[in-house]
Amino acid sequence: MHRLHLDTIVAPITGVQPAAVAWIRLSGPDAWTVASNVFKSWPEGDVESHRALFGKYVNGDEGLALPFAEDRSYTGEQAVELSLHGSAVSVRTLVEACLAAGARLAEPGEFTLRAFMNGRIDLTQAEAVRETVDAQTEAQLHLANLSRKGVLRKEFSALRSRILGVLAKVEASVDFSEEIGDLDRPVASAEIEAVCQVLLEWVVTAGWGQVVRNGYRIAILGRPNAGKSSLMNALLKNDRSIVTSTPGTTRDYIEESLEVEGFRVILTDTAGLRASVDPVEAKGIERSREVASKANHAFYMYDCAVGWTAEDDIHIAELDSQDISYTILANKVDIAEHGPGNPISTMTMAGIDDLLADIKHLVESTPVVPFVNLRQLPFVEQAHQSLTECSALLKGDAPDDLLSVLLTDAAMQLGAITGETAAPDMIERIFHDFCIGK
């Protein structure tokens, strides 16, 4: 990609002040010149990339200046990072000194945008920078680190090259059929099918990516008074949900998250399932069903003192029909014999530790490998569809130019993932939500 010659920008890159230390970053063609104006110990002669210098700033504070040459910096431009004491006034006055020396205040995400524009990173890596900054669990961090290192970039660039390779052969056979003969359709078809297979795997695993990024969702379901809210509280070890002996207590779902083995687990306490004439409760029950449909797993509870009922059979059949995995929990074993399912008591806490261990097993089965995110997924699906059509055509005697339309489309879709063929408004949307200094 072409290196762009933009102006020099500056922004604090560390968080809220006051803090012990803060960092300010300069990037652009005049970064070193601006730094030499605000950092009194900037050397007269040659400056070495990646070697820190200690000295005083024009605002009287002191710290380290760390220069980066343009071929070895985050942004792909000449850059300097300046450390100083993290008081608001020290940071503000040093930024002002940089502005006075010719820099401009950076927009949110502008450093990363420049890294992208200068070809240092692609769009998947830019998105991963954001995910690294936003990571709240170890699994999210691990996933972000993999994409930041360029695993998705490599994968989708390679797939795109394979498609372009077939496209070149198709076009050559259209333009120079007399010289090079007809397209070797079986070979082209095998290559397209192989790419299709890989794309399909990315589509299938995207759901796991959602689990790592947004949490593993467990819905707590059952008839009124089964003890769902009590279970939620027992698992969270607090009294988040209201518990009473009146059936129909929980009217709307309540969501809480906990971290298990580095994963976020989202527990949802729902309104008890029954035919209700009360419109508020009926609405709540409708929502329970929605929650269930979005869950990765359900805990289906019943009250042992009441026993397993025909209604429970109906609710379980609903889960089966929606293909939602579930665990049946026989609650209140402290006061009654238990029937089917895992015996628990939220009152005595019997079986609760085992249940937490089960949650651990459930989330541990989630692989933490790179996954496409929700922006990337539609492009993978579209590319897969075009290639599937192309593969079908290759088996018949469709004209070669029709093949090239489909192959061009698939290559464009994959280019939108990495950014080679991304529309400007999409690029803007990606960087729009970044914080200042990133």
Binding site for Mg ion (CB under 5 A): 228-229, 249-250
Distance, CA of 328 to CA of 316 (rounded, Å): 9
Residue 22 or 220 having the CB closest to Mg ion: 220
Structure tokens at 181: 């003969």
Nearest approach, Cβ of 84 to Mg ion (angstroms)? 53
Q: Taking CB under 6 A as the rule, does residue 346 contact ligand GTP?
A: yes
Beta-carbon contacts of residue 208 (< 8 Å; ≥ 6 apart): 366, 367, 371
The interface with ligand GTP within residues 270-329 (CB under 6 A) comprises 271-272
Identify the helix (H) or strand (E) that includes residue 132.
Answer: helix 123-134
Residue 241 or 373 having the CB closest to ligand GTP: 241
Residue 232 or 368 having the CB closest to ligand GTP: 232
> 226 is in the binding site of which of ligand GTP, Mg ion, none (Cβ under 5 to 8 A by kind)?
ligand GTP
CB 137, CB 259: distance < 8 Å: yes
CB 273, CB 306: distance < 8 Å: no
Q: Which stretch binds ligand GTP (CB under 6 A): 52-60, 157-165, 253-261, 341-349?
A: 341-349
Q: Which stretch binds ligand GTP (CB under 6 A): 29-37, 202-210, 217-225, 426-434?
A: 217-225
Nearest approach, Cβ of 383 to ligand GTP (angstroms)? 46
Distance, CA of 391 to CA of 387 (rounded, Å): 6
Nearest approach, Cβ of 293 to Mg ion (angstroms)? 19
Q: Which stretch binds ligand GTP (CB under 6 A): 113-121, 331-339, 377-385, 428-436?
A: 331-339
Distance, CA of 2 to CA of 119 (rounded, Å): 8
Query: What is the three-class DSSP state of 293?
Result: helix
Compute, in degrees rounded to 10, the torsion defined by CA atoms 223, 224, 230, 231.
10
How many residues make contact with ligand GTP (CB under 6 A)?
24
Q: Taking CB under 6 A as the rule, does residue 230 contact ligand GTP?
A: yes
The interface with ligand GTP within residues 248-267 (CB under 6 A) comprises 248-250
Distance, CA of 378 to CA of 413 (rounded, Å): 9
Residue whose C-beta lies closest to ligand GTP:
272
Nearest approach, Cβ of 304 to ligand GTP (angstroms)? 9
Residue 52 or 349 having the CB closest to ligand GTP: 349
Distance, CA of 3 to CA of 114 (rounded, Å): 9
CB 18, CB 88: distance < 8 Å: yes
Distance, CA of 282 to CA of 312 (rounded, Å): 17
Q: Taking CB under 6 A as the rule, does residue 243 contact ligand GTP?
A: yes
User: Which residues lie across from 282 on neighbouring strands?
Assistant: none
Contacts with ligand GTP by CB under 6 A lie at 222, 224-230, 243-245, 247-250, 271-272, 331-332, 334-335, 345-347
